[in-house]
Amino acid sequence: MFSTFEKKPTSMALYIAVFGDFSPNIFQTAWFVKHNIISDVDAENLESNINRHQAIIEFSYCKFEARTRALIFETDQLNFLGQTLDLVRLILNILKNLPCQGIEAHILTHYNVENGLSFIGKIAKNQFWEDITEGAYDCSEIEIKIPNKENSKLNSVVSLEVCPKNNNQIHINVRDSVFLMDNLSLMKEINTFAVEDIKSSFNNSIHLINKVRNYDFQ
Amino acid sequence: MIFSDFQVKELDCKDSLLKELNPHVERTILSYNQEDAEDCDAEKQSIFNDIHLNRFKSRNQLINTWEGTVTDVDGKSIFAKLYDTSDGTFDEFEFEFNDLKDSDQNMVKEGALFFLYLGYYTDNRGTKMKSSNIEFRRFPTNLDEDDINEKLDAINALNFDDLWE
């Protein structure tokens, strides 16, 4: 079961990126039918845009995008994450003999607050920077990197910013490195534990976002 | 060293053997990683900047999701056990073959896993309607039965810890 947002974001996006070397034009809808990911009837109704540099296929629950250096899975609701992870598991299994350079999980959330600048200012306000910039420091963006205790090469990047479209909204984003391969591992070597680790990465990120959103800044 | 001993050692100590036999290989891999690291970070960042501009928006706005497993099939009726992912509760559920997409009907058998979605669907003309949808979970066709059982065990360990009580 996935963690839940204690205060519901107005919108969100969840990404899983698998890094490696790929040929996007193999990811035709017929390829998905062949591997039993979708039926041939469903394949006819899918929106897709496939060329030598990029393949984009929109399922009802997620968007799959293949580029030469990454496969990206994107969904817009936590409730679709289970089925999206099934797709990740299936594709890693099919591409089992390709090298994998790493996996990242990324959450973007959009929250309504009374005043975005004030919300972030309470966290970021610092006399030191205001003195240096002579008051021009607007505290509208914060980004911190949290190193992984077990592997110093892995880290989570938490970023907050005032929404550029609306001052009453903020973005709280977490970009987490799930794996970074020291040498070129094959997909089949990581497939058995990858999905579980992606899932716990999302749960940790949701926990972090809840902490930031709920904290009572004085 | 007899051949079988060598194999065991190779499996257990792949990295140290690699250094022992050819230290140059290790150095080459490390320098390759260091040279690529900065390019790779910039590339990853640009991928994320790019995809954030063109966000996916599903036509379904979900209210709730259940994960289910088929417990019995009786004629046109399918009986299942449901797991509510929002609060961790279980329920019994009965539905019919007609509720499924044609392509999913041949996947119905005891033990099959599926998602049940409840929410609002907005069609391409903007009309919004309540909808429920059942999606059977799929597995690659190139797996043998042992592989499928292994994957099912992995999925069950993730999400269905209490379902099999």
Q: How many domains does chain A have?
A: 1
Kindly determine whether residue B44 and residue A63, on different chains, have CB atoms separated by under 8 Å. Answer: no
Q: pLDDT (tens digit, 9 = 90+) per residue, A50-88?
A: 998 899 999 999 999 999 999 999 999 999 999 999 999
**Which residue of B58, B85, B144, B149 is the best one to mutate when testing the A interface, meaning the one whose CB has the most A CBs within 10 A?**
B58
In a domain, A43, yes or no: no
* CA dist list (Å): B1 to A186, B4, B18: 30, 8, 17
**Residue B32: pLDDT over 50:** no
**Residue A146: pLDDT over 70:** yes
In a domain, A138, yes or no: yes
- Please report which residue ranges of A29-112 form alpha helices under DSSP H: 29-34, 40-45, 81-94
Q: In whole angstroms, give the CA distance from residue B53 to residue B74.
A: 49
Our CA-based measurement puts residue B74 at a distance from the nearest CA of chain A, in whole angstroms, of 25
* CA dist list (Å): A157 to A146, A173, A205, B27: 6, 8, 10, 30
In a domain, A155, yes or no: yes
Task: Tell whether B15 lies on the interface with A, counting CB pairs under 8 A.
Answer: no
Strand order of the β-sheet with B60-74 is: B90-96, B77-84, B60-74, B113-122, B128-136
In a domain, A42, yes or no: no
In a domain, A74, yes or no: yes
Task: Tell whether B49 lies on the interface with A, counting CB pairs under 8 A.
Answer: no
Question: Region B13-20: what's the mean pLDDT?
Answer: 45
- Angle subtended by helix axes B23-53 and B14-21, to nearest 10: 120
The amino acid at residue B101 is: K
Task: Tell whether B65 lies on the interface with A, counting CB pairs under 8 A.
Answer: yes
**Residue A172: pLDDT over 90:** yes
Domain coverage including residue A125: 11-21+69-214
Q: In whole angstroms, give the CA distance from residue A96 to residue B5.
A: 29
Domain ranges of chain B: 3-53, 60-159
Q: In whole angstroms, give the CA distance from residue B17 to residue B19.
A: 5
Q: In terms of Cα–Cα distance, which of B67, B101, B102 is closest to A80?
A: B67
Q: pLDDT (tens digit, 9 = 90+) per residue, B74-132?
A: 999 999 999 998 888 899 999 999 999 888 898 899 999 999 999 999 998 999 999 99
